[in-house]
Amino acid sequence: MITFIGRRLLQLIPVLFGVSLVVFFMVRAIPGDPAQILLGQTATPEAVAEVRTRLGLDEPVIVQYLLFLRDAATGDLGDSLVEGKPVTTALLEKFPATLELALAALLFAVVIGVPIGVIAAVRQYSFLDRITSVIALTGVSMPIFWLAMILVVIFTVNLGLLPFPGRVGNEVSFTSYTGIYTLDTLITLNFPAFWDVLKHLIMPAVALGTIPMAVITRMTRSSMLEVMNEDYVRTARAKGVVPWRVVFRHALRNAMLPTVTVIGLQFGLLMGGAILTETIFTWNGIGQFAIQSIDGRDYAGIQGVVLYGAIFFVLINLLVDVLYAILDPRVRL
Amino acid sequence: MAGTQVREAPVAGGVRTRTRWGDFRQAFFGNKLAVVGLVVIALFVVMAVFAPLLAPYDPIRDQNLTERFAGPSASHPLGQDELGRDILSRIIFGARVSLTAGLAAVVFATVFGTLVGVVAGYAGGLVDSILMRLMDIILAFPSILLAIVIVSILGQGLTNALLAVGVVLLPQIARVVRSSVISIRERDYVEAERAIGASDAQIVFAAILPNSLAPLIVQSTLALATAILDVAALSFLGLGAQPPQPEWGAMLTDAFRSGFGVFTEGQHAIIFPGVAIALSVLAVNFIGDGLRDALDPRRQR
């Protein structure tokens, strides 16, 4: 397994090289001068020229790329113009907000999606099964920014149950250690703050989690159907194991394998969906940072988002493969 | 179409001949959801084509600021938006913009994706490796982010937004085509074409492409659903259709950006454009699912 993980990590190098090459030249093809945008329209040409020199934008692009590679090899991705600090630092500050949102979305997706998928498979062709497949298709057909707005209409405006927008109410204060607010408020036992933070998290998480929920439901249903026809399930039934035990112990454990893979793939989509969700809920995370750095022609910022995004995506899928081997002893890495 | 013909069963005393087209028709039209999807899309197409006849008001010019966010009424069945325009008329005209943009993005992705897939799958070797690594790089980006960067390069606007969505969808199509080309490349009937001296182009067009059509059609239909959603998302971020153009995603942005008042007074301005997007995407997904079940023999019951 160690050699497998090592090999996969080595494969990251060419992927990152290719991604960095593409993103480096693409961001520089975006019209607009970062120095001009940074200083504003009223800046003198001399001041703009000076900033350009300071940012290294006077060098030929290919030289800029080689310099970027040299620094990147030591873990230095340059300074973000928008945030005025090293990109890695800026992203580390934003990351917990997006991670909290993505994990909550995934939790929603799994907690709702897996049981519905199981029920649909156990009662195949029933009314419940048909409804499930229509709901699952509806889930992947909804624009998430629209779903987010509808949730606000229902739960904030009409029912007055959930707060909007932001991550936390103005009147609430707590010390943040991890940047993951639900965790911060829990470890400091600040329950009123925890309750407030949790209420802020629900709508964005549901909006972001609906597509993965639908995908997980469909995947669970179809892999459950496949597994329910296997010999060992029939054997379990034949020897008189109670039905719920057959479903949960014998079938579901094996049916979860493809579902786990799908969950891993969803993480990449979640990162993209976070851009839309964070825009609606003014959620100060990576998605908002991505939009701001494109608007501000923050080359280092965009490169940072994309490169770390690619690393994260590859690592998640590696984790999924390892998990796969742990769940299924037949799989040898 | 040398490879697609199915040997017909001998017709004897009332035995009906089964053809591939007949099987397909039976499977597809036997699927209620697929038929519903087809009807819904047909209605949207009719709406788009006859928009000037169907829409009660002009979607852009008939503004009335005193009726900002006026709710549904007899004269405005779906209510009015932040500028007092008739939402129904804007949704009807929006069908032209949103559906055409989604379709154009998919046509772009299908044409170039097929090209990449056929070349990679047929040539193999180094060409294959280079093309597919390129596709991997596109797939390594979160698709919305890549589309945003592409639109930023090309400039805001609907045409550039749909091109960006086309590029983002291209790798999926290329992968599907490549894998079916590879599985078909070594079949006997392709070998036969080669033996009788057919050129590469002839082999590709006569033997390989017709036989990889089924997965391609399914993938393209499902890609259309994604394309409509992604174009709407780009418009929502202000990168696609620009005001006052009536496009479903842009209608939602315009309402959203008009301030928090939309959530309290203008709820219909949020609900209806989104329903139009969701309904059309759902219909396309129904059709895509129906096509997949009908075209893939392993899935038939």
In this structure, are residues A106 and A113 in contact, taking their beta carbons and an 8 Å threshold?
Answer: no
**What pLDDT shows up at residue B298?**
60
Helix B20-29 and helix B267-295, axial crossing angle in degrees, nearest 10: 140
Which residues share a beta bridge with A85?
A80
**What pLDDT shows up at residue B66?**
85
Alpha-carbon distance of A85 to B49, in angstroms, equals 53
Considering only CA atoms, which of A220, A202, A17 is closest in space to residue A113? A220
Least confident among A14-18, A194-198, A245-249, B295-299: B295-299
Q: Exposed, middle or buried by CB within 10 Å (0-12, 13-18, 19+), for A202?
A: middle
- Which helix (H) or strand (E) segment is A240 a member of? none
Convert A134-172 to b/e letters by CB count within 10 Å (16 or more is b).
Answer: eebbbbbbbbbbbbbbbbbbebbeeeeebbbeebbeeeb
pLDDT, tens digit, 9 for 90 and up, residues B209-238: 888 888 899 999 999 999 999 999 999 888
Residue A5 in this model has a pLDDT that exceeds 60: yes
Q: Two tokens at B169?
A: 């969808």
Which residues share a beta bridge with A79?
A86
Phi, psi (degrees; rounded to nearest 5) at A86: -55, 140
Phi, psi (degrees; rounded to nearest 5) at B90: -70, -35
User: For residue A25, what is the nearest residue in chain B, using CA coordinates?
Assistant: B153
Q: What percent of chain B has pLDDT over 90?
A: 42
Alpha-carbon distance of A37 to A81, in angstroms, equals 10
Average pLDDT over residues A247-276: 81
Chain B hits for A157, CB-CB cut-off 8 Å, are 263-264, 267
Per DSSP (E only), the strands in chain A are 79-80, 85-86
Q: What is the DSSP letter of A157?
A: I
pLDDT, tens digit, 9 for 90 and up, residues A119-143: 999 888 888 888 888 888 999 999 9
Is B267 within 8 Å of A157 when comparing Cβ atoms? yes
Alpha-carbon distance of B220 to B104, in angstroms, equals 12
Alpha-carbon distance of A140 to A98, in angstroms, equals 21
* Residues in CB range of B171: below 8 A, 6 or more apart: B113, B135, B136, B138, B139
End-to-end alpha-carbon separation of chain B, Å?
27
Helices (H), B30-124: 32-49, 51-54, 87-123
Which residues share a beta bridge with B86?
B80
Kindly list the residues of chain B whose beta carbon comes within 8 Å of any beta carbon in chain A. 33, 133, 136-137, 140-145, 148-150, 152-153, 155, 225, 229, 232-233, 236-237, 249, 252, 256, 263-264, 267, 270-271, 273-274, 277-278, 281-282, 285-286, 289
Interface test mutation site (partner B, options A145, A226, A277, max chain B beta carbons within 10 A): A145
DSSP states along B190-207: HHHHHHTT--HHHHIIII
Phi, psi (degrees; rounded to nearest 5) at A80: -80, 130
In this structure, are residues A235 and A251 in contact, taking their beta carbons and an 8 Å threshold?
Answer: no
Is B155 within 8 Å of A31 when comparing Cβ atoms? yes
Contacts by residues B112-116 (CB-CB < 8 Å, ≥ 24 positions apart): B112/B166, B112/B170, B113/B169, B113/B170, B113/B171, B113/B172, B113/B173, B113/B174, B113/B177, B114/B173, B114/B174, B114/B177, B114/B209, B114/B216, B116/B170, B116/B174, B116/B177, B116/B178
DSSP states along A245-287: HIIIIIIIHHHHHHHHHHHHHHHHHHHHHHHHHHHHHT--SHH
Average pLDDT over residues B18-47: 88
Average pLDDT over residues B170-188: 89
Alpha-carbon distance of A275 to A284, in angstroms, equals 10
In this structure, are residues A193 and A92 in contact, taking their beta carbons and an 8 Å threshold?
Answer: no
How does residue B108 score in pLDDT terms, banded at 50, 70 and 90? very high
pLDDT, tens digit, 9 for 90 and up, residues B239-248: 988 888 899 9
Q: Exposed, middle or buried by CB within 10 Å (0-12, 13-18, 19+), for A23?
A: buried
* Residues in CB range of A54: below 8 A, 6 or more apart: none
B2 or B173, greater pLDDT: B173
Is B149 within 8 Å of A18 when comparing Cβ atoms? no
Is B33 within 8 Å of A305 when comparing Cβ atoms? no
Contacts by residues A35-41 (CB-CB < 8 Å, ≥ 24 positions apart): A37/A296, A37/A297, A38/A81, A38/A296
Chain A hits for B289, CB-CB cut-off 8 Å, are 137
Chain A hits for B252, CB-CB cut-off 8 Å, are 143, 145-146, 149
**What pLDDT shows up at residue A11?**
76
What's chain A's average pLDDT? Answer: 87
* Structure-token match 């819904």, residue found: B40
**What pLDDT shows up at residue A145?**
92
Task: Calculate the alpha carbon distances from A96 to A100, A164, A183, A284 in Å.
Answer: 6, 20, 10, 10
Alpha-carbon distance of A217 to A225, in angstroms, equals 12
Least confident among A60-69, B100-109, B134-143, B260-269: B134-143
In this structure, are residues A322 and A314 in contact, taking their beta carbons and an 8 Å threshold?
Answer: no
How does residue B1 score in pLDDT terms, banded at 50, 70 and 90? very low
Is A310 within 8 Å of B144 when comparing Cβ atoms? no
How does residue B276 score in pLDDT terms, banded at 50, 70 and 90? very high
In this structure, are residues B93 and B151 in contact, taking their beta carbons and an 8 Å threshold?
Answer: no
In this structure, are residues B273 and B236 in contact, taking their beta carbons and an 8 Å threshold?
Answer: no
* Structure-token match 């459950």, residue found: A224
Phi, psi (degrees; rounded to nearest 5) at A85: -155, 170
Alpha-carbon distance of A200 to A174, in angstroms, equals 15
A88 or A41, greater pLDDT: A88
How does residue A38 score in pLDDT terms, banded at 50, 70 and 90? confident
Alpha-carbon distance of B277 to B248, in angstroms, equals 7
Which residues share a beta bridge with B278?
none
pLDDT, tens digit, 9 for 90 and up, residues A181-194: 999 999 999 999 99
DSSP-derived 3-state class of residue A79:
strand
Residue B18 in this model has a pLDDT that exceeds 80: no
**pTM for this structure?**
0.86
B281 or B58, greater pLDDT: B281
Chain B hits for A275, CB-CB cut-off 8 Å, are 142, 144-145, 148, 237
Q: Which of A56-65, B27-36, B103-112, B175-184 has the highest mean pLDDT?
A: B103-112
**What pLDDT shows up at residue A103?**
92
Average pLDDT over residues B155-179: 92
Q: Two tokens at A43?
A: 């800046």
pLDDT, tens digit, 9 for 90 and up, residues A137-182: 999 999 999 999 999 999 999 999 999 889 988 888 888 888 899 9
Pairing of strands A79-80, A85-86: antiparallel
ipTM exceeding 0.90? no
**What pLDDT shows up at residue B13?**
53
How does residue A263 score in pLDDT terms, banded at 50, 70 and 90? confident
In this structure, are residues B86 and B57 in contact, taking their beta carbons and an 8 Å threshold?
Answer: yes
